[in-house]
Amino acid sequence: MRHENATRTVILGVAASDAHVVANQLIAHSLRAQGFTVVNVGACTSVAEFADAYSWHPEAEAVIIGSLNGHAYEDLQDLPAARAQGLLDCPVILGGNLSVGSHKDASDAERFRALGVDAVLSDPELLPATLDQLRTRAPQPLAAS
């Protein structure tokens, strides 16, 4: 089982239409500083490219997707298909600024879970703890604010 590997690997990237990388790069640095191996596929990464990266790194314990430009929902339209085809067989974590506009809807997270996202986060500091929890395969998908 990959959980017993000495080093833990994650795939990190930004959604397909989104070029915001500052948080992405800081998160990568920070996870590395905490001992993770980070495969950072960076900005403008489609679901297909995430699946690709996963095929090269099946040891990854999660795919972590950032989205800031408000287009997360459209950018993840292919996620259900990819997951159904088993192309992304690990937890998917999503974080950032997930919809357009300044007034966010609390039900937003639901939409993403319906697409096959396992956890919606806003604070990257919660990533390690979330990764730990997902490892224990809690039966309920986890939501943090």
Binding site for another protein (CB under 8 A): 14, 16-22, 25-26, 29-30, 32-34, 42-45, 69-71, 73-74, 96-97, 99-104, 122-123
C-alpha–C-alpha distance, residues 116 and 71, integer Å: 16
Widest CA span of the chain, in angstroms?
43
Q: DSSP label at 28?
A: H
Task: Compare residues 30 and 57 and give the one whose CB is closer to ligand B12.
Answer: 30
Distances (CA, A) of 103 to 33, 72, 99, 107: 34, 16, 9, 12
| Minimal distance, residue 53 CB to another protein, in Å | 13
Sites for ligand B12 among residues 91-130 (CB under 6 A): 93, 95-97, 100-101, 121-122, 124, 127
Sites for ligand B12 among residues 52-81 (CB under 6 A): 64, 66, 68-70
Distances (CA, A) of 59 to 54, 87, 100, 137: 8, 13, 34, 16
Contact residues for ligand B12, defined by CB under 6 A:
17-23, 26, 64, 66, 68-70, 93, 95-97, 100-101, 121-122, 124, 127
